[in-house]
Each structure stands twice: as C-alpha cells, then as structure tokens.
Chain A
Amino acid sequence: GCCQGADSASGATWACFLLGERALVRVRGPDSAPFLLGLLTNELPLPGPAVGEASTSARAGYAHFLNVQGRTLYDVILYGLPERSSEQPTFLLECDSSVVDALQRHLLLHKIRRKVTVEPCPELRVWAVLPCAPGEAGGGGPLRKKAAVCAPVLTRDPRTYRMGWRLLSQDEGSALVPGGRLGDLQDYHRHRYQQGVPEGVHDLPPGVALPLESNLAFMNGISFTKGCYIGQELTARTHHMGVIRKRLFPVQFSGAVPGGGIAPGASVLTESGQAAGKYRAGLGDVGLALLRSEKIKGPLHIRTSESGLVALTASVPDWWPTATK
C-alpha cells in the first residue's frame, strides 16, 4: 500500500494527500451541460438530489478535453454538484494547476453566447484519500457516518477503484477523515505510476498524447455514444477501426536510475535492440511508457549513455478489462 509501517502503530486507516498540483475551475449556469458536452469526451456526472447540508451526493466523472486534431489537451476529473432549487447547474473541473489558465481560456473561447460562467475555484483544495491497507480500496470508504458538514465533495475516484477517493474541501482533509493521516505526495505519485494511472501534463503532454493510447477508455473517460465534441472524428474513427497498437503502460526500473531521472521521450528498446516505445514520465523507479502492446512481455531497456543502460519491465494493470490481457 501507500502507507509506511508507522501506520500500524498509529492505527491510521486512510492516507490523505493534498494535491497541490491540481486546481479547480467552476462552470455554472443554465447552459453548463450542453456547453461542456460539446467540448468533452464523456457524458457528465449528474448529481443526486441535495440532502440537507451535506453534498456527498456530488458525482464524479473523468474526461479529456481534446484539440481539433484529436489529441488530449487537458485531463479533468468532473464533479457534478447537487442542485438546490434556487441554484443553477454547477460543475467543478479538476485539472493540472499549470494549465488552469489555459483551460479557462479554452472554455471562454468556445463559450460565445452560452449562459455560463467560467471562474477559478481557489477556495477548495483537492485531496486524494487512499486506504492504508490495499484490500480496503473496495470498502465502504471514509466519512461514511459523519455528517461531513465541512466536506463539499467526497466521491470515489472515477478512473479506477485503485485510486481510492477524491475529497474537495476548504479545510484540512486529514482532519475530516476519521482514522486519516497526512500522506507524503511522493507516495501518491508512486502509487499512481504503479497502478498505471496517468495524471497531469507530464504524463499527458497537451497536444501530444492520444486519448485512446492514454487508456481513456479503461479509465471510464470516454463515451462512444454521445454527441459531437472537439476532436471526436479521429477518436471515433480510431475506436471503430479496431486496433490500438500502443498504450501507456506502468513500468518499473530494475537497475540503478541516473540521478536526474530518465528523460521523457527516451527510447525503450527490446533485448534485441528493436524499438518498443518511448518513456513518458515517472518518479524514482516507477513510471509510464508508451509501448507497443506486442513488445511488453520481454526484457526492455533504455540507453542512458554511450555504455550505460537501465533495465525496465512493463506490466499490465489488473484493473484493465480482461480482454486486453
């Protein structure tokens, strides 16, 4: 799991990670849904009815914004906030904080006459809440019985149950979670890379990453039955033509990794020197690489210098659909 040994002594059940690299944009107004649907790969998470003060009936979804050429621009977790009778439909979009301005410009460029407002939401912070014991990922979840008066949003991570829960709050997340303790952000990223979950601009370079190769379908981020959105033509055609030859796979380095890490874009080679793909991003000895599916089984390596190489192995996440194994 992502917790260190100290947890068994402290009895902590949940590790709470403050995701300073994720930011929130609020889209609100009567035209919110049709506006976002014309720009996103997926249907919107529609909230349940508001029950008292607690907003635990907010729903989360996952999607990408694509450019006209069908390449990923921004990966977002969407939150549909419960609508009280006097309020307008409101969605929160969680994105990489380095592109929060670019995302707002993208939204405003396409707004034209729609009755929506687009604004940052700096007062809420994004937390990831992961169970300390791996087996509890499928359990009831944190904050079950609490009134959760201070937690505007608590939902399962929509991408995979392996990523636990998302919590949006003005307050200290770990204080809200009974049995929770603050986690080290590096452990969150290590866990992500081990599970093969790309997130943010390093894993999904804007204008470069292709959504289906980025496993958008495995992460519940795309609907092939919804109406037109920017970049749909290439995406739908790729899907219907059948074969995705390359994908982002989680990789683990078995040798010593150079101090500065491995350069993004470094060629990954098979034992016999054939091209298997390219390294994308990572942390320490774990990361993601865009690899040809047929080449992932044997030993792989990256050349680090004239004479040096580092060995790595790729794996198939067990939460992917079984048809791909």
Chain B
Amino acid sequence: MAAVRGLTAVALRVVTPWQRSSRLLAASSGPRALREVSSSSPEAGEGQIHLTDSCVQRLLEITEGSEFLRLEVEGGGCSGFQYKFSLDTVINPDDRQGERGGVFEKGGARVVVDSDSLAFVKGAHVDFSQELIRSSFQVLNNPQAQQGCSCGSSFSVKL
C-alpha cells in the first residue's frame, strides 16, 4: 500500500478525469515497465514545461507500461481557458515538433503537451499538489496566465 502513504482519506479523491482508485489501493509492487527515455525534449529554455519532484513521484506511482500524463488546454471555463489532465499512451505527430509541442521527461516520468496547448503553458510547472481539499495535478506559475478561478483549473491569458 505504498501508494497511499501520506494521504488522508479526503485527499485520496484525485481530481482528474479518470478514476485511479483501483490502482491506488491495489498492491502495486510489480516491477516498473522499462521506460523509453525520451530524447525529444525541446531545446532547454525554449517552450519548456518543468516537472516538479512531486509530479514525477506521483506519475511513477500510478503509470503503467507506456502511459504518460497528457496536459491539454481547452477554451472555456470560468476564466477563459482550462487545463485538462489525462493519462494517455499514444504520442501524436503534433506532440513532437521541435520547440512547439513536446514530450517532457524527468526521472522516468513523462508529460506530453501538444503544440496548440503548449503555447498556453510554456514556462509553467506541472506539480502534484496534495492538500486537504484535494490531491491533483496542477499547473503552477504559468507565465502566460493572468488570473484564475478559485479552484485553479481555469485561467485567463495575458494579452
């Protein structure tokens, strides 16, 4: 039950579109699948996102096989744009386009952003935040974002 170490009962409800509760509670002690080390990260400093250690650790806990965390930006939501996290296994052509779009790897965990969405989040950090109200992946310190809604999932863009 290593996966639930440090989490309160409330925080177990991870706010992402998919339900990982079965993964969280099952003994996930099998060997990790060998992970392809991606060498396609964009040039350092150009159109990058940064993964926090908490994000990396969480992804190592919950991903299996070729799964990675996909971050997309959608229009709409209380402040204009909103972040959407999902687990995916398929990398698309527009996920790898040099400095537009990218596969970001750290410590064996991967976060993938398509080229359209990266324009809205480049320079930001992806974190796994554990708070009383929820535990979830969050986008923090986004240089493009101006103001956000109270729950943190929606933001508006500096013009």
A residues touching B (Cβ–Cβ < 8 Å)?
Answer: 34-35, 37-39, 68, 109-114, 228-233
The answer to whether A68 and B156 touch (CB under 8 A), given A39-B75, A39-B76, is yes
In the docked arrangement, what's the CA distance between A109 and B120, Å?
12
Q: How far is the CB of B117 from chain A (nearest CB, A)?
A: 7
Among candidates A37, A109, A231, A233, residue contacting B150 with C-beta atoms closer than 8 Å? A233
In the docked arrangement, what's the CA distance between A113 and B120, Å?
12
- CB-CB under 8 A from A110, the residues of chain B are 75-76, 80-81
Among candidates A113, A229, A233, residue contacting B76 with C-beta atoms closer than 8 Å? A229
Structural contact, B150 and A230, CB atoms closer than 8 A: no
Known: A34-B76, A110-B80, A114-B74; 20 extra A-B contacts, CB below 8 A, are: A35-B75, A35-B76, A39-B76, A68-B79, A68-B156, A110-B75, A110-B81, A112-B75, A112-B81, A112-B117, A113-B116, A228-B77, A228-B82, A228-B149, A229-B78, A230-B76, A230-B78, A230-B79, A233-B79, A233-B150
Among candidates B78, B82, B114, residue contacting A233 with C-beta atoms closer than 8 Å? B78
* Chain B, residue nearest A36 (CB): B76
Q: Say whether B72 faces chain A, with CB atoms less than 8 Å apart.
A: yes
- Interface centre among B72, B73, B75, B150, by most chain A C-beta atoms within 10 angstroms, is B75
- CB-CB under 8 A from B154, the residues of chain A are 228
In the docked arrangement, what's the CA distance between A41 and B157, Å?
20
Within 8 A of A (CB), among B107-129: 114, 116-117, 120
A-B contact pairs, 6 of them (CB 8 A): A68-B80, A112-B74, A228-B78, A229-B76, A229-B78, A233-B149
* Chain A, residue nearest B73 (CB): A112
- CB-CB under 8 A from B74, the residues of chain A are 38, 112-114
Q: How far is the CB of A317 from chain B (nearest CB, A)?
A: 31
- CB-CB under 8 A from A229, the residues of chain B are 76-78
In the docked arrangement, what's the CA distance between A232 and B154, Å?
11
Q: Mark B76-93, 1 if CB is under 8 A from A, else 0.
A: 111111100000000000
Interface size band for B: 20 to 34
Structural contact, B76 and A38, CB atoms closer than 8 A: yes
* Chain B, residue nearest A231 (CB): B78
Q: Say whether B147 faces chain A, with CB atoms less than 8 Å apart.
A: yes
- CB-CB under 8 A from B116, the residues of chain A are 112-113
The answer to whether A228 and B150 touch (CB under 8 A), given A110-B81, A112-B117, A113-B114, is no
Q: How far is the CB of A69 from chain B (nearest CB, A)?
A: 9
- CB-CB under 8 A from A232, the residues of chain B are 78
- CB-CB under 8 A from B117, the residues of chain A are 112-113
Pairs of residues from A and B, 4 with the lowest C-beta to C-beta distance, nearest first = A38-B76, A110-B75, A228-B77, A232-B78
- CB-CB under 8 A from A34, the residues of chain B are 76
- CB-CB under 8 A from B77, the residues of chain A are 38, 228-230
Structural contact, A38 and B75, CB atoms closer than 8 A: yes
* Chain B, residue nearest A38 (CB): B76
Q: How far is the CB of A206 from chain B (nearest CB, A)?
A: 16
- CB-CB under 8 A from B147, the residues of chain A are 68
Q: Mark B55-66, 1 if CB is under 8 A from A, else 0.
A: 000000000000
Structural contact, A109 and B75, CB atoms closer than 8 A: yes
- CB-CB under 8 A from A228, the residues of chain B are 76-78, 82, 149, 154
* Chain B, residue nearest A235 (CB): B78
Q: Mark B117-157, 1 if CB is under 8 A from A, else 0.
A: 10010000000000000000000000000010110001010
* Chain B, residue nearest A109 (CB): B75
In the docked arrangement, what's the CA distance between A36 and B14, Å?
27
- CB-CB under 8 A from B79, the residues of chain A are 68, 230, 233
- CB-CB under 8 A from B82, the residues of chain A are 38, 228
- CB-CB under 8 A from A230, the residues of chain B are 76-80
- CB-CB under 8 A from B73, the residues of chain A are 112
Structural contact, B76 and A37, CB atoms closer than 8 A: yes
* Chain A, residue nearest B155 (CB): A68
* Chain B, residue nearest A107 (CB): B75
* Chain A, residue nearest B79 (CB): A68
The answer to whether A114 and B75 touch (CB under 8 A), given A68-B80, A228-B82, A230-B80, is yes
In the docked arrangement, what's the CA distance between A111 and B73, Å?
10
